[in-house]
Amino acid sequence: MKNIVLTGFMASGKTTIGKELATITGRKLVDTDVMIEQEMGMTTNEIFENFGEEYFRDLETVACHAAAEECGVIISTGGGAVMREINREVLKKTGVVFNLEMNEALIKERMTEAKATRPLMSDEIDKVIERFNSRKEFYDDCDYKIPVYDGQTPTDYAAEILKKYTLSLITKG
Ligand code: S3P
């Protein structure tokens, strides 16, 4: 049984929607950021501070590969996981990939709250938007795009994702 993989920029709601999907389906939730933090016994902020971004990205690649070995789970990825092709490929191999598609206005709106736990959200707004735009092609490399906008509940997103997931299993196996 294929995994359900959530990708998307920071603060797109991957963790919240992942939890909702896990609750509805009874499936396990695997969060690559949580895997990394548990492995290191440090927060993401601390890992970035002490070892730098490239080190974090290597841990992320290991976490994506370990997550992709699971069967029939919900995988919530970190916002930058899609940047490496080997991560996208391994996640696609055993899962149906859903990108929670953000837009600039929503990123700006959610930035203040998102800063606390995310080192790359502490940059100036222009830099954050630039980062988002530079990643677009990687976010687009997914099976389904799920546009994110205010007013939708986690249950709404989960229902949309599950419908598309089931359809994908029927049509693509
Ligand atoms: C990152 C996103 C974060 C986390 C790290 C780097 C990114 O995850 O992996 O701070 O580069 O976009 P969330 O997308 O869950 O915030």
The answer to whether residue 63 sits within a structural domain is yes
The answer to whether residue 17 sits within a structural domain is yes
Q: With contact defined as beta carbons under 8 Å apart, do 165 and 151 qualify?
A: no
Could you tell me if the CB of 79 is within 6 A of ligand 1?
yes
Q: What is the 159 CA–ligand 1 centroid distance (Å)? A: 24
Q: What is the pLDDT of residue 3?
A: 98
Task: Supply the residue whose CA is at minimum distance from atom 2 of ligand 1.
Answer: 79
Could you tell me if the CB of 154 is within 6 A of ligand 1?
no
Q: What is the DSSP code string of the chain? A: --EEEEEESTTSSHHHHHHHHHHHH-PPEEEHHHHHHHHHTS-HHHHHHHH-HHHHHHHHHHHHHHHHTSSS-EEEPPTTGGGSHHHHHHHHHHEEEEEEE--HHHHHHHHHHHGGG-GGGSS-HHHHHHHHHHHHHHHHSSSEEEE--TT--HHHHHHHHHHHHHHHHHHH-
Could you tell me if the CB of 10 is within 6 A of ligand 1?
yes
End-to-end CA distance of the chain: 9
**What range does the domain containing 102 cover?**
3-168
Atom number, ligand 1, closest to the C-alpha of residue 60: 9
**Domains: count for the chain:** 1
The answer to whether residue 161 sits within a structural domain is yes
Task: Supply the residue whose CA is at minimum distance from atom 12 of ligand 1.
Answer: 79
CA distance 141 to 153: 25
Length, in residues, of the chain: 173
CATH code at position 25 = 3.40.50.300
Q: What is the 156 CA–ligand 1 centroid distance (Å)? A: 23
Could you tell me if the CB of 82 is within 6 A of ligand 1?
no
Q: What is the 39 CA–ligand 1 centroid distance (Å)? A: 16
The answer to whether residue 173 sits within a structural domain is no
Task: Supply the residue whose CA is at minimum distance from atom 4 of ligand 1.
Answer: 78
Q: What is the pLDDT of residue 69?
A: 98
Q: What is the pLDDT of residue 5?
A: 99
Could you tell me if the CB of 107 is within 6 A of ligand 1?
no
Query: What pTM was estimated for this model as a whole?
Result: 0.97
Q: What is the pLDDT along the chain (173 residues), one digit of tens a residue?
A: 999 999 999 999 999 999 999 999 999 999 999 999 999 999 999 999 999 999 999 999 999 999 999 999 999 999 999 999 999 999 999 999 999 999 999 999 998 888 888 999 988 999 999 999 999 999 999 999 999 998 999 999 999 999 999 999 999 88
The answer to whether residue 33 sits within a structural domain is yes
Q: What is the pLDDT of residue 75?
A: 98
Q: At what angle do helices 85-94 and 53-68 cross, to 10 degrees?
A: 20
